Amino acid sequence: MQTDLFPPIDPHRHGMLARGDIHRVYWEECGNPQGLPVLFLHGGPGAGASPTHRRFFDPDAYRIILFDQRGCGRSRPTAEVRENSTQTLIGDIEALRLELGVDRWLVFGGSWGSTLALAYGQAHPDHCLGFVLRGIFLGRRSEVDWFLTGIRQIFPDAWQDFVAALPEAEQGQRTPQELLTAYYRRLTDPDPAIHLPVAHAWSQFETRASTLLPAPDLPQEPNGATLAISRLEAHYFVHDLFMAEGQLLTQIGRIRRLPCTIVQGRYDTVCPAVSAYELKQAWPEADLVIIPDAGHAALEPGIRAALVRATERYKLELASLVAP
């Protein structure tokens, strides 16, 4: 069975989906047009999809569909927070499904993508075949607070640099809510001289905590991508991910009949393993695969191998459900 990424491929079609008065959402389709439909949901919010994300799936077996969520990647406008919520993204997914003529699809998402996958699945369970989820984030206040201040317990140097990006007079504001408020005020300021320095600080903080071992050779994101990631993450955090507290666990019964594989790095400090464990407790039928030597990043060797094993499994188990 394949355990590493498939060779690079190019889309065979792509487009822009007009959504409301503000947003145009980029989408692309790769692989086999008659294959098993799979929807890739990227992280962030705000990270965007990349060519590497196409490679988790056998292009001979899968109809691979990716899109850049509102405000990021090739979608326009960049870093836009207006009309940008969990509910609008769920609406975009449904609009894309109808645009492409998909009845049901496998839903694949990591980090924030796992949050959105669960939220979408619970809203539209009849259009899902199953789930492959990685680096579980359930959108609860405890998880947001951990990201903003808890990581200090493991990465005190990275966290100190994160705080130091704020003006000196505000560096004593170190509760999660104080940090979030201070960052969000600057990230949403229209002046690049104000929002870009804190955008870079937010992005670097997250990057430094994302892998088990240091990864100093990670490419630097352009300013637009860095701003989209930091501004949209802060926007969603300020609004409690636009969900009720604990919603994704209390509503798990809507999708428990569907197959699911959960892949989690043991030493994930961005989205700690306790969330994956609690999701498994609420969803006993799901398969939980804990990678003993990995952090958060999808491309760490053990995580990417487990994700590919999952897509290889489902291409066989689910093929008959979409056979002509």
pLDDT of residue 3: 73
Over residues 117-145, the pLDDT tens digits come to 999 999 999 999 999 999 999 999 999 99
Structure tokens given for 170: 């505000």
Q: Span 47-66, mean pLDDT? A: 97
Q: Using the 8-state DSSP alphabet, how is residue 31 labeled?
A: E
Q: Span 299-314, mean pLDDT? A: 97
For residue 232, what pLDDT band results from cuts at 50, 70 and 90?
very high
- Is there a contact between 111 and 271 (Cβ–Cβ < 8 Å)? yes
Alpha helices in the chain (DSSP H): 86-100, 112-123, 141-148, 156-164, 176-187, 192-208, 223-238, 247-250, 273-282, 301-317, 319-322
**Using CB atoms within 10 A of its CB, is residue 32 exposed (0-12), middle (13-18) or buried (19+)?**
middle
Whether the per-residue pLDDT at 323 is higher than 70: the answer is no
Whether the per-residue pLDDT at 219 is higher than 70: the answer is no
Query: Which of 207, 186, 181 shows the shortest CA–CA distance to 196?
Result: 186
CB proximity list for 320: less than 8 A, separation 6 or greater = none
Q: Span 232-241, mean pLDDT? A: 98
pLDDT of residue 321: 77
**Backbone angles phi and psi of 132, in degrees to 5:** -120, 115
- Domains in the chain (CATH in brackets) are 13-140+242-322 (3.40.50.1820), 142-241 (no CATH)
Percent of the chain with pLDDT over 70: 95
Residues with catalytic function: 111, 268, 296
Whether the per-residue pLDDT at 294 is higher than 90: the answer is yes
For residue 224, what pLDDT band results from cuts at 50, 70 and 90?
low
Least confident segment among 48-57, 207-216, 240-249: 207-216
Cα 318 to Cα 87, 106, 134, 195, 277: the distances in Å are: 28, 9, 20, 46, 25
Over residues 242-288, the pLDDT tens digits come to 999 999 999 999 999 999 999 999 999 999 999 999 999 999 999 99
Over residues 88-101, the pLDDT tens digits come to 999 999 999 999 99
- Is there a contact between 106 and 314 (Cβ–Cβ < 8 Å)? yes
Type of residue numbered 119: A
Angle, helices 223-238/176-187, rounded to nearest 10 degrees? 130
- Is there a contact between 204 and 229 (Cβ–Cβ < 8 Å)? no
pLDDT of residue 112: 98
Rg (CA), the chain: 19
In angstroms, the first-to-last Cα distance of the chain is 25
Query: Which of 114, 101, 115, 116 shows the shortest CA–CA distance to 63?
Result: 101
Structure tokens given for 317: 């188990």
